[in-house]
Amino acid sequence: METLLVVPVFTIAVALFAVLILLHFVPMGLWISALAADVSISLFNLVGMRFRRVEPRMIVIPLIKGTKAGLGLNVNQLEAHYLAGGNVDNVVDALIAAHRAQIDLTFEQAAAIDLAGRNVLEAVQMSVNPKVIETPIVSAVAANGIELKIKARVTVRANIDRLVGGAGEPTIIARVGEGIVTTVGSSQSHTDVLANPDDISKTVLGKGLDAWFAHEFRRAGFNPDAVWPRASDPRVLPTDITALLQRVPADLREDLSARLLKLRAVAPQDASILGRAYTKQVDVVMSSWSTGPELLLSTKSQSSSFGKNLPNRFEEAYGDAGNLRARYPLAAVGFAFVLSSAIHAEPSQLERAIDMMRKLRDRGDGNGYTATCLLMYDASPSGAVSILTDAIPADLGAPQFIDTMITTILDAAPASSHRTVRDRRQGYLLLGE
Cβ contact 62:89 at 8 Å? yes
Least reliable range by pLDDT among 233-237, 310-314, 332-336? 233-237
Residue 229: cis peptide before it, omega within 30 degrees of 0: yes
Least reliable range by pLDDT among 187-196, 303-312, 324-333? 187-196
Per-residue pLDDT tens digits for 119-147: 888 888 877 777 777 777 878 787 778 88
Cβ contact 366:327 at 8 Å? no
Q: What is the pLDDT of residue 431?
A: 43
Q: What is the pLDDT of residue 219?
A: 86
pLDDT greater than 60 at residue 297: yes
Distance CA 153, CA 51 (A): 51
Most confident of 184-198, 291-305, 324-338: 324-338
Cα dihedral: 264, 267, 268, 272 (round 10)? 110
Q: What is the pLDDT of residue 28?
A: 67
For 60, 126, 368, 376, the CA distances from 379, given in Å and listed in that order, are 48, 21, 31, 10
Distance CA 11, CA 20 (A): 14
Across residues 183-187, what is the average pLDDT? 71
Per-residue pLDDT tens digits for 342-359: 888 888 899 999 999 999
pLDDT greater than 60 at residue 245: yes
Buried b (16+ CB within 10 A) or exposed e, 254-263: eeebeebeee
Across residues 87-107, what is the average pLDDT? 86
Q: What is the pLDDT of residue 320?
A: 93
pLDDT greater than 80 at residue 167: no
Q: What is the pLDDT of residue 433?
A: 40
pLDDT greater than 70 at residue 206: no
Per-residue pLDDT tens digits for 151-163: 777 767 666 666 6
Cβ contact 287:294 at 8 Å? yes
DSSP character string of 260-302: HHT-TTTS-SSEEEE-SSSEEEESEEEEETTTEEEEEEEEEEE
pLDDT confidence band for 115 (50 / 70 / 90): confident
Please name the residues in contact with 412: beta carbons below 8 A apart, sequence gap of 6 or more. Answer: 294, 330, 331, 332
Per-residue pLDDT tens digits for 391-430: 789 999 988 999 999 999 999 999 889 988 988 876 644 4
Higher pLDDT, 265 or 219: 219
Higher pLDDT, 61 or 206: 61
Higher pLDDT, 362 or 186: 362
Least reliable range by pLDDT among 46-60, 254-268, 413-427? 254-268
Q: What is the pLDDT of residue 323?
A: 93
Most confident of 97-106, 231-240, 262-271: 97-106
